A and B are shown apart, each in its own frame.
Chain A
Amino acid sequence: AQTVTQSQPEMSVQEAETVTLSCTYDTSESDYYLFWYKQPPSRQMILVIRQEAYKQQNATENRFSVNFQKAAKSFSLKISDSQLGDAAMYFCAYRSDKTSGSRLTFGEGTQLTVNP
């Protein structure tokens, strides 16, 4: 079974600064997908960024980028120019490539605080 580990229960960052959230995972599969989801107090789970395991290039979405190290099974999220609206719980997640109904496995989450 796949496992996802987020070792930072809480992180804080000053507005306009950069912060990196860590995620490691364990799998025996070669094809899979990794995601970072954000869950603000409004509770809706919002996709921040995704990475296909077969792609060597790190994904970027505006101020959000990942450092994907497949051999090390590491998938960290970097948030640049942090904004107050970035404050939320961030979950790293893994999805198998196998089927349409494959489960999404989540890490324990990192609560990000953005200080003005």
Chain B
Amino acid sequence: DTEVTQTPKHLVMGMTNKKSLKCEQHMGHRAMYWYKQKAKKPPELMFVYSYEKLSINESVPSRFSPECPNSSLLNLHLHALQPEDSALYLCASSQDPGTGVTEAFFGQGTRLTVV
């Protein structure tokens, strides 16, 4: 199994709503990532979890709240978002470079629209 599964695939939410994005992998990877991607732009790193601990927060606004309940699961809780937060949200996972598996595996993303 070399898949990273993200749900939902599409999400439309109002600015006062609370919603969550979910990401799951069963490859035994110990690092998981959230990226935000605008159209025709590269992914921008938001958060990194390494061994279930938050290791990188790229100064993301507090209306985005990540959670890593276990080594296979990563959530992104959304609250009071703005229209400019509309984007593709990508989850990825990776293994320790020392294992020889150096690349990150990506999910298909959640297309988020904030209205």
Per a CB cutoff under 8 Å, which of A33, A37, A43 touches B102?
Answer: A33
Residues of B within 8 A of A109 (CB): 40-42
Q: How far, in Å, is B83 (CB) from chain A's closest CB?
A: 20
Interface-forming stretch among A14-22, A72-80, A100-108? A100-108
Of B11-19, B46-54, B59-67, B72-80, the stretch lying at the interface with chain A is B46-54
Contact of B108 among A42, A52, A103, A108 (CB under 8 A): A42
CB pair A95–B50 under 8 Å, yes or no, is no
In the complex, which of the residues B40, B41, B55, B103 contacts A101, with contact meaning CB atoms closer than 8 Å? B55
Across-interface contacts of B30 in A (CB, < 8 A):
100-101
- Classify chain B's interface size: 20 to 34
CB-CB < 8 A to A102: which residues of B? Answer: 31, 97
Is the C-beta of A44 less than 8 angstroms from some C-beta in chain B? yes
Q: Report whether A35 and B103 are in contact in the complex, using a CB–CB cutoff of 8 Å.
A: yes
Q: Are B49 and A47 in contact (CB under 8 A)?
A: no
Return the contact of A47 from the options B55, B96, B103 (Cβ within 8 A).
Answer: B103
Q: Which residues of the partner chain A approach B45 to less than 8 Å between Cβ atoms?
A: 103-104
Q: Are A99 and B50 in contact (CB under 8 A)?
A: yes
| Interface residue? A86 (CB, 8 A) | no
Are A103 and B48 in contact, CB atoms less than 8 angstroms apart?
A: yes
A-side contacts of B49, CB under 8 Å: 101
Apart from A100-B31, A101-B30, A104-B43, what 9 extra A-B contacts exist at CB < 8 Å? A33-B97, A33-B102, A33-B103, A45-B106, A52-B102, A99-B96, A100-B94, A107-B42, A109-B40
| Interface residues, chain B, with chain A CB atoms under 8 Å away | 30-31, 33, 40-43, 45, 48-51, 55-56, 88, 90, 92, 94-97, 102-109, 111
Can you report 26 A-B residue pairs in the complex whose CB atoms are below 8 A from each other? Answer: A35-B103, A43-B88, A44-B106, A45-B43, A45-B92, A50-B102, A52-B102, A95-B94, A95-B103, A95-B104, A99-B96, A100-B96, A101-B31, A101-B33, A101-B48, A101-B49, A101-B50, A101-B51, A101-B55, A101-B56, A103-B33, A103-B56, A104-B104, A106-B42, A108-B42, A111-B40
